[in-house]
Chain A
Amino acid sequence: AQKVTQAQTEISVVEKEDVTLDCVYETRDTTYYLFWYKQPPSGELVFLIRRNSFDEQNEISGRYSWNFQKSTSSFNFTITASQVVDSAVYFCALSDPTNQAGTALIFGKGTTLSVSS
Chain B
Amino acid sequence: GAVVSQHPSWVICKSGTSVKIECRSLDFQATTMFWYRQFPKQSLMLMATSNEGSKATYEQGVEKDKFLINHASLTLSTLTVTSAHPEDSSFYICSARDFGPPVGYTFGSGTRLTVV
Closest B residue to A10 by beta carbon equals B41
Q: Is the interface of B mostly helix, strand, loop or mixed?
A: strand
Q: Are the CB atoms of B31 and A110 closer together than 8 Å?
A: no
> How many pairs of A and B residues are in contact by the CB < 8 Å rule?
50
Number of interface residues, chain A, beta carbon within 8 A: 21
Which chain B residues lie closer than 8 Å to A33 at the CB level? 103
From the candidates A45, A52, A101, name the one contacting B93 in the complex (CB within 8 A): A45
Q: How far is the CB of B106 from chain A (nearest CB, A)?
A: 8
Contact across chains for B44 and A101 when beta carbons are under 8 A apart: no
Could you tell me the distance in whole angstroms from the C-beta of A35 to the nearest C-beta in chain B?
7
Whether A19 sits at the interface, judged by CB under 8 Å, is no
The stretch among B13-21, B61-69, B78-86, B107-115 that forms the contact with chain A is: B107-115
Partner of B104, one of A50, A101, A104, A108: A50
Contact check, B44 vs A102: say whether CB atoms are below 8 A apart.
Answer: no
Which of B42, B103, B110 is in CB contact (< 8 Å) with A44?
A: B110
